[in-house]
Structure 1
Amino acid sequence: MSIKSLQRTTLRDQCLNGLRSAITSGQLPAGHHLVETELSEAFGVSRGTLREAMRRLEQEGLLVAGPRGQLRVREINEGEIGHLYQVRAALEVLAARSLCQHADFPDRLETLRECLARLHAVEGNLGEQIEADLSFHRTLCELSGNSVLLSSWLALEGPVRVTIMHAGIERALNNMSSSRHDHLLEVLSQRDPAHIERVLVEHMDEAAQRLMQAMETQSAG
């Protein structure tokens, strides 16, 4: 494999982040069975360290165990994608509504602007754009001040990562484009709950439709 060996410092976290990135970017595609000997050599870590990272990713929903206990990258079907993005939209609508009620709304909005600036800065770099996109939406939920909402969103993050590359790089980059998020932030700044809900639901629906259409095309081929 071409995965780069890791530095010795904070080895467990680096292994976790490297493995997560390899899955999210499609280097380890959905359905791929993980071979410990290959991965430990590729990352330059012990099999014990690798197992710790794999257990964490199983908890996050990125990996699942087969009948014999061997871990593989989670696969998500078309129906699951639709449900996943419906729930994600509902959570983020609630987060946006809650955010608008805070007295320090301008300060919280500025934090989101900083997240958006990062997304602009890394656009075109697949790995960094994925992280910047997820950070924007995660921060929206954090800024709501609702810890239960945030926990629910974090439970979806692993499965969402699995879906990102289902539609291929071009569609993935389109879903995560800074221009789509510019519009979200502009609407959010208006503090109009009904408008925010409409735009956020459309944002998630468009992303889900691209993913599902790509799956249909792949199945037909």
Structure 2
Amino acid sequence: MSIRSLQRTTLRDQCLDGLRSAITSGQLPAGHHMVETDLSSAFGVSRGTLREAMRRLEQEGLLVAGPRGQLRVREINEGEIGHLYQVRAALEVLAARSLCLHDDFAARLEILRGCLQRLHEVQNDLGEQIEADLTFHRTLCELSDNPVLLSSWLALEGPIRITVMHAGLERALHNMSADRHDHLLNVIAQRDPTHIERVLFEHMDEAAQRLMRAMEAQSAG
């Protein structure tokens, strides 16, 4: 396991980031049982620090407890992916429509443009690309000024990360491409609620379909 040891500063947060990245990248694959002794040694942290990080990932939905209480990386099936992206689309449509109603819409749109610029800058780094993609969508929800909407979206973020590993590199890169998000931002900039709803649902449906096709291909293989 090529997980590098962590510096002795903010160990829990670094361990949390490292575990999250290892899960999202597939280094710790779906269904993998989290063996504390192996992981604490790999990360160079105590088992107590590791447990704190794993508890956080369980809250995020990246880890689940098995029958005996041992944590493992969450597995997601095709049906769950479809439902996940339907709910995600509904939340982000509501966020975008709410954003359009703000008097300072232009200023808020510039914040989203900054997130999109970051996505353009990291197109050759899968890990950073994942973070930039999620930051764009999370920021859209934050800018709605609806805390219930945001907390609902955050509850989906862990499972969304899990779906990335199912996609395979080519499909993951397509779903997170800057060009797809350029189009999305341009539509939001027009402040047409009906158009926004159609395009956002199409955006999410395309991503979900690619993920589900990847799972079908893996099952067939």
Q: In the aligned structure 2, how far is the partner of 1:112 from the partner of 1:22?
A: 27
Secondary structure, in 3 states, of the residue corresponding to 1:72? Answer: strand
Q: In the aligned structure 2, how far is the partner of 1:147 from the partner of 1:69?
A: 32
Aligned residue in 1 for 2:130: 130
> Residue type of the partner of 1:195?
H
How far residue 71 of structure 1 moved from its aligned partner, in angstroms, is: 0.6
Equivalences for 1:72-221 in 2 at 5 Å?
A: 72-221=72-221
Q: In the aligned structure 1, how far is the partner of 2:126 from the partner of 2:107?
A: 29
Secondary structure, in 3 states, of the residue corresponding to 2:160? Answer: helix
Q: In the aligned structure 2, how far is the partner of 1:105 from the partner of 1:179?
A: 22
Secondary structure, in 3 states, of the residue corresponding to 2:64? Answer: strand
> Residue type of the partner of 1:90?
A
How far residue 167 of structure 1 moved from its aligned partner, in angstroms, is: 1.4
> Residue type of the partner of 1:152?
S
How far residue 73 of structure 1 moved from its aligned partner, in angstroms, is: 0.3
Runs of 4+, deviation exceeding 4 Å = none
What CA RMSD, in Å, does the superposition of the two structures yield over aligned residues? 0.5
- For the 8 Å contact 1:97–1:193, the answer to whether it is kept is yes
Q: Extract unaligned runs of 5+ from structure 2.
A: none
How far residue 220 of structure 1 moved from its aligned partner, in angstroms, is: 1.3
Q: In the aligned structure 1, how far is the partner of 2:50 from the partner of 2:169?
A: 27
Q: In the aligned structure 2, how far is the partner of 1:38 from the partner of 1:106?
A: 50
TM-score when normalising by structure 2: 0.99
Corresponding position: 1:36 with 2:36: yes
Q: In the aligned structure 1, how far is the partner of 2:46 from the partner of 2:216?
A: 40
How far residue 47 of structure 1 moved from its aligned partner, in angstroms, is: 0.4
How far residue 25 of structure 1 moved from its aligned partner, in angstroms, is: 1.2
Q: In the aligned structure 2, how far is the partner of 1:25 from the partner of 1:167?
A: 10
- Identity of counterpart residues, as a percentage? 85
Q: In the aligned structure 2, how far is the partner of 1:124 from the partner of 1:199?
A: 26
> Residue type of the partner of 1:215?
M
Secondary structure, in 3 states, of the residue corresponding to 1:214? Answer: helix
Aligned residue in 1 for 2:64: 64
Q: In the aligned structure 2, how far is the partner of 1:25 from the partner of 1:102?
A: 37
Q: In the aligned structure 1, how far is the partner of 2:170 from the partner of 2:38?
A: 29
Aligned residue pair count: 221
TM-score when normalising by structure 1: 0.99
Aligned residue in 1 for 2:20: 20
How far residue 102 of structure 1 moved from its aligned partner, in angstroms, is: 0.1
> Residue type of the partner of 1:49?
T
Q: In the aligned structure 1, how far is the partner of 2:216 from the partner of 2:14?
A: 35
How far residue 63 of structure 1 moved from its aligned partner, in angstroms, is: 0.2
Q: In the aligned structure 2, how far is the partner of 1:16 from the partner of 1:179?
A: 30
> Residue type of the partner of 2:180?
R
Q: In the aligned structure 1, how far is the partner of 2:144 from the partner of 2:75?
A: 31
Corresponding position: 1:6 with 2:6: yes
> Residue type of the partner of 1:128?
E
Secondary structure, in 3 states, of the residue corresponding to 1:64? Answer: strand
Q: In the aligned structure 1, how far is the partner of 2:71 from the partner of 2:156?
A: 19
Q: In the aligned structure 1, how far is the partner of 2:156 from the partner of 2:12?
A: 23
